[in-house]
Chain A
Protein backbone atom coordinates (compact mmCIF):
# COMPACT_ATOMS: atom_id res chain seq x y z
CA UNK A 1 0.00 0.00 0.00
CA UNK A 2 1.68 3.24 -1.11
CA UNK A 3 1.87 6.19 1.26
CA UNK A 4 -0.76 8.90 0.87
CA UNK A 5 1.44 11.30 -1.11
CA UNK A 6 2.57 8.61 -3.56
CA UNK A 7 -0.37 9.02 -5.96
CA UNK A 8 0.81 7.67 -9.30
CA UNK A 9 -1.73 5.22 -10.73
CA UNK A 10 -4.22 5.40 -7.87
CA UNK A 11 -7.71 4.55 -9.04
CA UNK A 12 -9.15 7.92 -9.95
CA UNK A 13 -11.81 8.68 -12.54
CA UNK A 14 -12.17 12.34 -11.66
CA UNK A 15 -11.87 14.73 -14.57
CA UNK A 16 -9.03 17.22 -14.14
CA UNK A 17 -10.53 20.36 -12.63
CA UNK A 18 -8.92 23.15 -14.65
CA UNK A 19 -10.35 26.00 -12.62
CA UNK A 20 -7.80 28.17 -10.82
CA UNK A 21 -8.45 29.67 -7.40
CA UNK A 22 -7.05 33.08 -6.59
CA UNK A 23 -4.29 32.81 -4.03
CA UNK A 24 -5.01 34.45 -0.71
CA UNK A 25 -2.45 36.74 0.81
CA UNK A 26 -1.62 34.17 3.48
CA UNK A 27 -0.93 31.53 0.82
CA UNK A 28 1.49 33.83 -0.98
CA UNK A 29 3.23 34.57 2.31
CA UNK A 30 3.53 30.91 3.27
CA UNK A 31 5.08 30.24 -0.11
CA UNK A 32 7.45 33.17 0.44
CA UNK A 33 8.38 32.08 3.99
CA UNK A 34 9.44 28.70 2.64
CA UNK A 35 11.62 30.37 0.03
CA UNK A 36 13.13 32.91 2.44
CA UNK A 37 13.95 30.21 5.01
CA UNK A 38 15.41 28.10 2.23
CA UNK A 39 17.77 30.89 1.25
CA UNK A 40 18.80 31.25 4.91
CA UNK A 41 19.63 27.55 5.15
CA UNK A 42 16.76 26.92 7.58
CA UNK A 43 14.66 24.80 5.27
CA UNK A 44 15.40 22.15 2.70
CA UNK A 45 13.06 20.87 0.05
CA UNK A 46 13.47 17.29 1.22
CA UNK A 47 12.78 18.23 4.83
CA UNK A 48 9.64 19.97 3.70
CA UNK A 49 8.54 17.02 1.59
CA UNK A 50 9.15 14.68 4.49
CA UNK A 51 7.17 16.95 6.82
CA UNK A 52 4.21 16.95 4.42
CA UNK A 53 4.43 13.18 4.05
CA UNK A 54 4.25 12.83 7.83
CA UNK A 55 0.75 14.32 7.94
CA UNK A 56 -1.81 11.66 8.66
CA UNK A 57 -3.55 10.52 5.46
CA UNK A 58 -6.92 12.10 6.26
CA UNK A 59 -5.32 15.48 6.90
CA UNK A 60 -3.20 15.19 3.77
CA UNK A 61 -6.26 14.58 1.63
CA UNK A 62 -8.43 17.20 3.31
CA UNK A 63 -5.86 19.98 3.22
CA UNK A 64 -5.42 22.41 0.38
CA UNK A 65 -1.97 22.82 -1.09
CA UNK A 66 -0.82 25.75 1.04
CA UNK A 67 -2.48 24.31 4.13
CA UNK A 68 -0.07 21.39 3.72
CA UNK A 69 2.78 23.84 3.26
CA UNK A 70 1.72 25.62 6.46
CA UNK A 71 1.59 22.39 8.41
CA UNK A 72 5.02 21.45 7.06
CA UNK A 73 6.47 24.83 7.98
CA UNK A 74 5.23 24.38 11.54
CA UNK A 75 6.74 20.91 11.78
CA UNK A 76 10.13 22.13 10.55
CA UNK A 77 10.28 25.26 12.70
CA UNK A 78 9.37 23.29 15.84
CA UNK A 79 11.74 20.49 15.00
CA UNK A 80 14.68 22.85 14.47
CA UNK A 81 13.85 24.72 17.65
CA UNK A 82 13.41 27.98 15.76
CA UNK A 83 10.14 28.43 17.62
CA UNK A 84 8.47 26.43 20.38
CA UNK A 85 4.98 25.02 20.43
CA UNK A 86 4.14 27.23 23.41
CA UNK A 87 5.22 30.34 21.56
CA UNK A 88 3.27 29.35 18.49
CA UNK A 89 0.10 28.43 20.38
CA UNK A 90 0.34 31.68 22.33
CA UNK A 91 0.81 33.81 19.23
CA UNK A 92 -1.96 31.89 17.47
CA UNK A 93 -4.42 32.67 20.30
CA UNK A 94 -3.33 36.28 20.44
CA UNK A 95 -3.95 36.76 16.71
CA UNK A 96 -7.19 34.80 16.76
CA UNK A 97 -8.55 36.99 19.54
CA UNK A 98 -7.60 40.07 17.61
CA UNK A 99 -9.32 39.20 14.34
Chain B
Protein backbone atom coordinates (compact mmCIF):
# COMPACT_ATOMS: atom_id res chain seq x y z
CA UNK B 1 0.00 0.00 0.00
CA UNK B 2 1.39 3.33 -0.96
CA UNK B 3 1.82 5.78 1.88
CA UNK B 4 3.10 8.41 -0.49
CA UNK B 5 2.38 12.10 -0.56
CA UNK B 6 -1.24 13.20 -0.62
CA UNK B 7 -2.45 16.26 -2.39
CA UNK B 8 -5.65 16.75 -0.49
CA UNK B 9 -7.10 16.35 2.97
CA UNK B 10 -3.94 17.37 4.79
CA UNK B 11 -2.97 20.34 6.90
CA UNK B 12 -2.08 23.35 4.81
CA UNK B 13 1.56 24.36 4.78
CA UNK B 14 2.38 27.00 7.40
CA UNK B 15 5.98 27.55 6.38
CA UNK B 16 7.90 28.44 3.26
CA UNK B 17 11.49 28.03 2.17
CA UNK B 18 13.66 30.46 4.13
CA UNK B 19 11.37 30.63 7.20
CA UNK B 20 13.06 30.41 10.59
CA UNK B 21 11.63 27.57 12.66
CA UNK B 22 12.29 25.75 15.89
CA UNK B 23 11.78 22.03 16.48
CA UNK B 24 9.49 21.30 19.40
CA UNK B 25 10.85 19.32 22.33
CA UNK B 26 8.51 16.45 22.99
CA UNK B 27 8.22 12.76 23.63
CA UNK B 28 4.69 11.81 22.65
CA UNK B 29 5.27 8.38 24.16
CA UNK B 30 4.92 6.32 21.04
CA UNK B 31 6.32 6.22 17.54
CA UNK B 32 7.58 9.49 16.08
CA UNK B 33 10.19 10.50 13.51
CA UNK B 34 11.83 13.56 15.04
CA UNK B 35 15.32 12.63 16.32
CA UNK B 36 16.10 13.72 19.87
CA UNK B 37 19.31 15.54 18.86
CA UNK B 38 17.43 18.02 16.68
CA UNK B 39 14.65 18.82 19.15
CA UNK B 40 14.83 22.35 20.50
CA UNK B 41 17.13 23.44 17.65
CA UNK B 42 16.44 26.47 15.50
CA UNK B 43 16.85 26.15 11.76
CA UNK B 44 15.63 27.37 8.41
CA UNK B 45 13.15 25.69 6.07
CA UNK B 46 15.08 24.48 3.02
CA UNK B 47 12.01 23.26 1.18
CA UNK B 48 8.60 21.70 1.46
CA UNK B 49 8.88 18.03 0.44
CA UNK B 50 5.19 17.25 0.18
CA UNK B 51 2.26 16.35 2.40
CA UNK B 52 2.35 12.88 3.96
CA UNK B 53 0.09 10.84 6.25
CA UNK B 54 1.21 11.30 9.83
CA UNK B 55 3.49 8.39 10.82
CA UNK B 56 2.47 8.78 14.47
CA UNK B 57 -0.98 7.60 13.42
CA UNK B 58 0.06 5.13 10.69
CA UNK B 59 2.25 3.30 13.18
CA UNK B 60 -0.82 2.26 15.17
CA UNK B 61 -3.12 1.36 12.30
CA UNK B 62 -4.58 4.86 11.98
CA UNK B 63 -5.31 6.61 8.70
CA UNK B 64 -2.54 9.20 9.13
CA UNK B 65 -5.00 12.08 8.87
CA UNK B 66 -4.70 14.96 8.96
CA UNK B 67 -1.72 14.49 6.65
CA UNK B 68 1.27 16.65 7.56
CA UNK B 69 3.42 18.87 5.38
CA UNK B 70 6.98 17.56 5.55
CA UNK B 71 9.90 20.00 5.40
CA UNK B 72 13.59 19.59 4.85
CA UNK B 73 14.97 21.87 7.54
CA UNK B 74 18.54 23.16 7.57
CA UNK B 75 20.60 23.53 10.73
CA UNK B 76 24.13 24.74 11.39
CA UNK B 77 26.30 21.84 12.55
CA UNK B 78 28.25 24.07 14.96
CA UNK B 79 24.98 25.05 16.54
CA UNK B 80 23.62 21.52 16.84
CA UNK B 81 26.88 20.03 18.17
CA UNK B 82 28.96 22.40 20.29
CA UNK B 83 31.94 20.03 19.89
CA UNK B 84 31.54 19.85 16.09
CA UNK B 85 34.85 19.47 14.27
CA UNK B 86 34.52 21.24 10.96
CA UNK B 87 33.97 24.67 9.44
CA UNK B 88 31.00 26.83 10.43
CA UNK B 89 29.61 26.44 6.92
CA UNK B 90 28.80 22.73 7.49
CA UNK B 91 25.09 21.95 7.64
CA UNK B 92 22.67 19.20 8.50
CA UNK B 93 19.26 18.73 6.92
CA UNK B 94 16.55 16.81 8.73
CA UNK B 95 13.08 15.99 7.38
CA UNK B 96 10.52 17.21 9.90
CA UNK B 97 6.73 17.12 9.90
CA UNK B 98 4.90 20.39 10.36
CA UNK B 99 3.37 19.59 13.74
CA UNK B 100 6.90 19.38 15.16
CA UNK B 101 7.80 22.88 14.02
CA UNK B 102 7.01 26.29 15.47
CA UNK B 103 7.85 29.71 14.07
CA UNK B 104 10.80 31.53 15.63
Interface positions of A (Cβ within 8 A of B): 2-3, 6, 8-9, 38-39, 41, 44-47, 49-50, 53
Contacts and interface: CB of A to CB of B under 8 A. Distances in A.
B36 A50 contact: no
A46 B59 CA distance: 4
Interface residues of B, number: 14
Contacts of B81: 9
B14 interface: no
Interface of B: 1, 3, 30-31, 35-38, 55, 58-61, 81
B38 to A, nearest CB: 8
B36 A49 contact: no
B36 A46 contact: no
B60 A45 contact: no
